[in-house]
Each structure stands twice: as structure tokens, then as C-alpha cells.
A = this chain, B = another copy of it.
Amino acid sequence: MNTLYEHGTLAMLMAKNLAGTITLGELLKHGSCGLGTFEGLDGEVMILDNEVYQAESSGKVHHITDMQTTLPFASVHFPQDQHKVSLQNVNFDLLNKSFVHDHQLQNVFAALRLHGTLSDVLIRIAPKQERPYPSLLEVAKGQPTFPRKNITGTVFGYYAPAAFGSITAAGWHLHFLSDDHQYEGHLLSFDSDEMTGDYEVFDQLDQHFPVNDKEFRESDVDIESLREGIAKSEGHQD
């Protein structure tokens, strides 16, 4: 059984629930690789082989070892049953079209991990918010972006079916971490001549809710604006 564990939902972030509701220590019990953000939407988190990296909105990347750090939203898994892939001319267009089609990912959750040199890359990093928290959509309006050229590292993240677009980012949600651990963030666009790695299809999504969090239980989700808001805040550029 290949399981993807998700704590919190994008719907919660849209409803301004940015308080951390799971500790990093608890999260890592459910996976050794993953993506997320810290309390207050503080940066972009990438977990690779149990090592946790957080890019803050200055662009600086931290290696996080404090297991009491909390997150409002994160997805993790323990890699298994991976299929090796070797891709040429890699970008979001390739991943969105031929990759999803060739491996028939459109209706399932999947993980993807690719390594290689990117000729061009653009990431964005969410800036930390203070109470009273804004919604994810408001935060998304003013997020710093960081371009690079000719940088080697790891593209990692998840694919989610369109029907789950109110809960998590529909389609690809990928981060990039450079091999020197100095550059990391939410991937907006990239180009690479060649990348190799693996993907994995999940049988099951374990969607966990912070049911004992009073703010979460009390908050109202505006379902009408939810999907549009998520598309605007979690999308990539091509």
C-alpha cells in the first residue's frame, strides 16, 4: 500500500487558518519526503530523506532540526515502489501533458522526484504572516520570486487529481532544492535538457484534520471563491 499523508488542506489556508497544527516530529512519522509550510505560511518547506529544508522569503534556506516546529499544511510519504524515469526537455508543459498522459496519472495522487541541471528556473517563497492572519489568496498577491540559471538540484513534489483541487493543489505541486542547499522554493517555471529520477502512484490519501484546533473548527470556508483562490495562489506559470 502506497500512502500519501496530508495534514490540513488548502481550504483551511484559504480560510485564514495559518496556525501550526502538527509538529515536524509528528509529521515525520508519516513520511521521509514531502512538502509543506510553517506556521504563518512561513516559507517553503521541502523534506528529502528525512532532512528538512525551509526557504524563508528573503531567499535564505535553513536546515531545520527543531522537531517542535509546527506546520498548518504538509504532505509527506515514505517512498516505495518507484518507477524510474529519464526525461529530456523537461518543463511544466512536458509534465502536465505527456508525462501525466503516458503514466495515466490524471485520476490519482503521485510523487515525482527528478534530479538534474536546470538552464532556467523561477521559484517563489511565501512570506511569513502575523495574526490576524490573511487568507492564502491575499498572501499569494505579494510573494517574492527568485530566478536562477544553470543550477543543479532536485525537483520534488506531488500530482493531485483535478477533483481534489479544493483540498490540495490540483495537478503538479513541486518545489526545487539546489544541491548546495542554498536555493529552494515553490516551483513556478523551469527548463532542463535532461533529468532523471522516479515517480510513484499512491493507492491512498490519508487526509488528516486538526479536529481539536478551535479556530479550524469554528472557521467558515467560502466555497464559491475557494477554487479560484487556490488556482491563483498555488499555480505555476506554464
- A binding-site residues for B, Cβ under 8 Å: 9, 11-12, 15, 104, 106-109, 161-167, 201-209, 211, 216-221, 223, 226
Contact = CB atoms under 8 A, between A and B. Distances in A.
Nearest to A14: B163
7 contacts: A11-B161, A104-B217, A163-B226, A202-B209, A204-B209, A205-B205, A205-B209
A207 B207 contact: yes
Given A11-B161, A201-B211, A203-B211, A221 B166 contact: no
Given A162-B223, A203-B209, 19 more contacts: A9-B163, A11-B107, A11-B161, A12-B107, A15-B107, A106-B221, A107-B209, A107-B217, A108-B209, A161-B221, A163-B166, A164-B166, A164-B167, A165-B223, A202-B211, A203-B211, A205-B205, A205-B206, A206-B206
A79 to B, nearest CB: 16
Given A104-B217, A104-B218, A217-B104, A209 B109 contact: yes
A167 B6 CA distance: 16
Nearest to A206: B206
A109 B9 CA distance: 13
